[in-house]
Amino acid sequence: MADINKKNSYKVIGVMSGTSLDGMDIAYCELNLIEEKWQYKIVAAETIPYNQTWLIRLKELHKQPAFVFSKTDAFYGKYIGQLINTFIAKHQLQVDFIASHGHTIFHQPDKGYTAQIGNGANIYAETGITTINDFRVVDVALGGQGAPLVPIGDELLFNEFDGCLNLG
């Protein structure tokens, strides 16, 4: 397992899916601490389109009973892991850890709840790579909008700008 707390260089895969349902976004990035400043490089990235089955499952999941939600969360995590394995093999990558946002099903931070699917344990089981996931829940519980990585990412990676505009 990678010691992600004491390094000055990381090779990371980030994955997420948006409400557009255009597919699973996968990016392999290198992060390096150089002269007390974090720098990044996007080495490989792609969007893998969803097949019809996943499009329907993801689009309709918010209407399904709890056991279907739970089952889909597990299977979607496995699916993400399989996509990551293919991506790693295709690009011949070495990875320190995976950061997975998953796919948001419910998100109403003003009402204090959010839910993403893509079970991190299943991603780990498929890939064998340390996986960090479920970023939004604590931020929403603390009164945030469920985007806790944006401010720190902006500060560490784009601090030469006065502001950043997230276009989604």
Q: Where are the domains of the chain?
A: 9-157
Separation between Cα atoms, residue 112 and residue 14, nearest integer Å: 26
Residue range 82-128, pLDDT digits in tens:
999 999 999 999 999 999 988 989 889 999 998 999 999 999 999 99
CA 126, 139, 41 angle in degrees (round to 5)? 55
> Hey, what CATH topology would domain 9-157 get?
Nucleotidyltransferase; domain 5 (3.30.420)
| pTM for this entry | 0.86
Retrieve residue 116's tokens.
């993403």
Residue range 34-89, pLDDT digits in tens:
888 888 899 999 999 999 999 999 999 999 999 999 999 999 999 999 999 999 99
Separation between Cα atoms, residue 25 and residue 40, nearest integer Å: 18
Angle subtended by helix axes 66-91 and 120-127, to nearest 10: 40
